[in-house]
Amino acid sequence: MIEAAIDLMRGSGLSGAGINEIVRASGAPKGSVYHHFPAGKQQIVAEALSDYSVRVMSFIDAALASRDSAADKLAALFSAFGRRVEAGSFRRSCAFGAVCLDLDEDLDGLRGLIADAFDDWARLIARHFDLGDARRTRSFAGLVLTAIEGAYVRARAEQSSRPFIEAGSWLGEVVSPAGLRAQTPR
Amino acid sequence: MIEAAIDLMRGSGLSGAGINEIVRASGAPKGSVYHHFPAGKQQIVAEALSDYSVRVMSFIDAALASRDSAADKLAALFSAFGRRVEAGSFRRSCAFGAVCLDLDEDLDGLRGLIADAFDDWARLIARHFDLGDARRTRSFAGLVLTAIEGAYVRARAEQSSRPFIEAGSWLGEVVSPAGLRAQTPR
């Protein structure tokens, strides 16, 4: 059921991930839902997001570790995400992004979980870069995360991985040695 | 009903914008839905998104036109979006982004509408910048759009407008004169 929930959330956020849809997609008997997840939908969603976050971190870490220079790391990361959105036929994106934009007032617990995951992801990204000082590096890592989530939105609309590839290239300019030399300290 | 649909989509994408929710939020009698929108939910959503797109373009245009230099334009644009997400108590984002990540197979008409709107927005943004050649300028405008959509995701999760402010500052570095000088032609 966790796998079914992840796939449904990647496809259509909370709107597609109702208990009935999750049960149907998983093939599990409906009675087993409340046995395994006594708190219902919010519990399934929370556990699925937690599992998914571990995978995202492993995916990001592997892509960034595959290259040496900062610009190459960014190109590798964004092209890995580009291949990922292609593999999902532009119908799957980040479960966190899709769920986050669907949250209403009664799901504030999930919001905290998403914020914590984004924080983990940004810290992980920051460990692969050194932009002079820790605060600036961390801010840049946040920009990388912003670009990933935004590129998913555009990639799904445009049915193209180009938003990822272009973002990787632009962010590579930011961290390229020429770009770094051009920066004024602040 | 259009206003109610826009507000619901900004809040929770397609998951919150069911016919019943739209009718309830608008205060209109339910019978009037199929009088005004014979094709039902997809028609309301499409018309609401079209109206919303016009407003977004006016909002973007005003923010970019309010400053002269490229970096200042970006700072103004992202801080305008930052104020917007604050004004919505971090519970409202871009209706297009939220709906886009909720789309499933049977809503491909909406996907095309969203792709066309993003194209319009990127063209509008591109008109405010000159990065040497039209293709590069257009690609940068796409990055700006990517960053807006991604910053909404993070802003809602983190309940902060900081993702917008930081994105505006980083993108300002990309177009700053020093950054431009540092670029290698391609």
Cβ of A136: how many Cβ atoms within 10 Å?
17
Residue A179 pLDDT greater than 80, yes or no: no
Check CB contact under 8 Å for B13 and A15. Answer: yes
Q: What percent of chain A has pLDDT over 70?
A: 95
Question: CA-to-CA distance for A149 and B106, rounded, in angstroms?
Answer: 23
Surface of B (92-121) touching A: CB under 8 A: 93, 96-98, 100-105, 111, 114-115, 118
Residue-wise pLDDT for B116-169, tens only, equals: 999 999 999 999 999 999 999 999 999 999 999 999 999 999 999 999 999 999
Give the nearest chain A residue to B113 (CA atoms).
Answer: A157
Q: What is the mean pLDDT of residues A61-75?
A: 97
Question: CA-to-CA distance for B22 and B18, rounded, in angstroms?
Answer: 6
**Residue B123, both tokens:** 């063209």
Q: What percent of chain B has pLDDT over 70?
A: 95
User: For position B10, what pLDDT does the model report?
Assistant: 96
Residue A185: pLDDT band (50, 70, 90) is very low
E strand or H helix at A32: helix A31-36
Q: Which residues of B touch A143 (CB under 8 A)?
A: 147, 166-167, 170
| Residue A172: C-alpha distances to residues A71, A134, A168, A175, B142 (Å) | 4, 18, 6, 5, 16
CATH match for B48-182 among 1.10.357.10, 3.40.50.300, 1.10.3720.10, 3.30.70.580: 1.10.357.10
Q: Does B170 touch chain A (CB under 8 A)?
A: yes
User: For position B177, what pLDDT does the model report?
Assistant: 62
Q: What are the residue ranges spanned by the domains of chain B? A: 48-182
Q: Is residue B39 packed enough to be buried (19+ CB in 10 Å), middle (13-18) or exposed (0-12)?
A: exposed
User: For position B178, what pLDDT does the model report?
Assistant: 55
User: For position A74, what pLDDT does the model report?
Assistant: 98
Q: What is the mean pLDDT of residues A68-79?
A: 97
Q: Does A170 touch chain B (CB under 8 A)?
A: yes
Residue A183 pLDDT greater than 50, yes or no: no
Question: CA-to-CA distance for A123 and B183, rounded, in angstroms?
Answer: 28
Residue A83: pLDDT band (50, 70, 90) is very high
- Classified by CATH at the fold level, domain A49-180 comes out as Tetracycline Repressor; domain 2 (1.10.357)
User: For position A152, what pLDDT does the model report?
Assistant: 98
Residue B183: pLDDT band (50, 70, 90) is very low
Residue A106: pLDDT band (50, 70, 90) is confident
- In the numeric block, the tokens 């005004």 are attached to B36
Mean of per-residue pLDDT scores for chain A: 92
Q: What is the mean pLDDT of residues B2-11?
A: 95
User: For position A80, what pLDDT does the model report?
Assistant: 98
User: For position B182, what pLDDT does the model report?
Assistant: 42
* Residue A64 near residue A172, CB atoms below 8 Å: no
Residue B45 pLDDT greater than 70, yes or no: yes
| Residues near A151 by beta carbon (within 8 Å), at least 6 away in sequence | A78, A81, A163, A164, A167, B146, B150
